[in-house]
Amino acid sequence: MNKILTFTFFLVFAIEGYSQSLLGYYDLATLFSENDNNGTSRYTAMSGAFGALGGDVSSLNVNPAGISVMKNSAISVTGSYRDAEVNSRYYNNSIKSQNEYFNLSQAGAIIVFDDINDSEWSRFAIGFNYRIMKDLNNSLFAQGNNYSTNFTEQSSIGKSVSEPYIHPGRQSFTNSYEGEISEITVAFSAVHQSKLHIGLGINFYNLNFFEKSQITTADEYYKGEKKDYLSIAPYKESQTEGNGFSANIGFIYKVNSFFRIGASYQTPTWYSDILESSYSPIYYYEDSYDYSVSDSDSDNKTKYKDYYEDYPYPEEPLDNLYDLRTPGKLTGSAALVFGKLGLISFDYTRRFYREIRLTSNSSVFSENDKTFQKYLRNTSTYNAGTEWRLGRFSLRGGYRYELNFSRTAIESDNLRGYSFGFGYNFGSVKLDFSYTDYRNTSIHDFYPESKSINPAELQNGNKRVFGTLTINL
């Protein structure tokens, strides 16, 4: 009976206190809306500021009109390395988590047709591009003591608690994420009177996300003759899969030989029938020690009780099906081009996070739209890039600043970072390399239902190295 009472109390704690340890739907919706700005090495070295430039396979992700800036057909393939670092701080205890990932982050081609038998339209281009829009692989570990008693009605051995635990123990939290959002784009662009480039793109997305999370609460001590040690390890995992699409349209106008302007709009991305499968086994271990008996007494043995309980753990995972709409965005661009010597480019993007919507027959989603309206804001992103050529050799650099989507965000939560790179043109073959370093801060709330327990403070850093091979056809 004591075991049943113990587990019943723990179960209430586990469901209420742990239900948000995995990312909630608010977090998932915003995570699936993010863009890593991956692309070719030239593109990433200039922080993606290609809205008024074009001339690169990856430019179609910003403005599809840019592919007709290219004068020759080309194929490019990019591999990347990412060093992901998360420094967590939880109740004055700091822990660093670091992981490395390798990806084929981009592969695409542009086919250019110069002669289309029309004096008004001098060039037509078709572009195809695959890229990892969002690399979801990451991990987080936090540990500390919040000095909060988690068990106030039932002790770990089923004894009614008349006095609180005097030594709440250490808590540790592990979250790991795997997966990616990949994007395949088909774009069309044409040039009118050698000045106006217009373009249209259609984007298809594949979402695959797997998350695991575990909280371990240990060393809870009962005030009295007996010492109760309780180690609890509720564990959850969830698999999310879905497909979506969006479209973008844009133009680039060459005001003169030095100055260009551009603008593009990308619709929201619509994901339909996202399937989420999850299950939640619970593990815990306890022992008690009688302090009323001398340690030298051979009968005073530490009593161990090992339990494995699972709730809920059906034969099949719990499934949930829903639709998601992520933000659309509007980009304005300008560029100065100094012939073959170099260029300076700038993009401003407005993302409409307040457009996010979750739709399902489940009651879980009934309040999400109100949550989005209350806590989300539309964001601004600034991308600047430059490139300078010394014969066949090119040097590049860039800067990116992105406002955080949360109304409660502080200045350090905004994403910012720099990029640089170089390339060499062998003629029909080009080799380019780039390095990016983007950082921000955030929080992770392991006990969202509690106003007295602080969240973990996170410092996030992502360093990437890209290498691109381009072959002119």
**DSSP per residue, 210-225:** EEEEEEEE----BSSS
Q: What percent of the chain has pLDDT over 70?
A: 74
Average model confidence (pLDDT) across the chain: 81
pLDDT at position 14 over 60: no
What tokens appear for 120 in the block? 């008004």
Nearest to 422 by CA among 430, 438, 433: 433
Among 82-91, 345-354, 389-398, 441-450, the minimum mean pLDDT is found in: 441-450
Checking if the pLDDT of 199 tops 90, the result is yes
Count of CB atoms situated within 10 Å of the CB of 186: 15
- Of the pLDDT bands very low, low, confident and very high (cuts 50, 70, 90), residue 227 is low
Amino acid at 437: D
Give which of 241, 216, 239, 248 is closest to 229, Cα–Cα: 216
The closest of 358, 436, 444 to 397, measured between CA atoms, is 436
| Residue 458 pLDDT grade (very low, low, confident, very high; cuts 50, 70, 90) | very high
Q: Which residue has the higher pLDDT, 91 or 429?
A: 429
- pLDDT the model gives residue 10: 38
Q: In the chain, what percentage of residues exceed pLDDT 90?
A: 58
Tokens of 214: 């575990």
Q: pLDDT at residue 15 above 70?
A: no
Beta bridge partners of 247: 202
Q: What is the mean pLDDT of residues 5-11?
A: 36
| Cis amide bond preceding 314, omega within 30 | no
Separation between Cα atoms, residue 467 and residue 104, nearest integer Å: 10
**Strand partners for 259:** 336
What mean pLDDT is predicted for residues 369-377? 84
Q: Is the pLDDT of residue 446 over 80?
A: no
Q: What is the pTM of this model?
A: 0.84
Dihedral angle over CA of 334, 337, 343, 348, nearest 10:
0
Task: Please check whether residue 77 is in contact with residue 431, taking contact to mean a CB–CB distance below 8 angstroms.
Answer: no
Residue 313 reports pLDDT greater than 60: no
Element (H, E) at 80: strand 74-90
Among the ranges given (115-129, 138-152, 431-445), the one the predictor scored with the smallest mean pLDDT = 138-152
Pairing of strands 303-310, 318-326: unpaired
> Is the predicted pLDDT of residue 280 greater than 90, yes or no?
no
List Cβ neighbours of 121 (8 Å cut-off, separation of 6 or more).
190, 191, 192
* Strand positions, DSSP E, 255-341: 259-266, 269-279, 281-290, 303-310, 318-326, 329-338
> What average pLDDT does this structure show over 361-389?
84
Would you say 84 and 436 are in contact if contact means Cβ atoms under 8 Å apart? Answer: no
Q: Give the Cα separation of 146 and 184 in Å (integer).
A: 46
Per-residue pLDDT band for 151 (boundaries 50, 70, 90) equals: very low
- Lowest-confidence segment of 83-92, 217-226, 318-327, 427-436 by average pLDDT: 217-226
DSSP code of residue 452: S
pLDDT at 431 over 90: yes
Please state, in angstroms and rounded to a whole number, the distance separating the CA atoms of residues 59 and 50: 6
Confidence of residue 228 (pLDDT cuts 50, 70, 90): low
Q: Does 94 have pLDDT greater than 80? A: yes
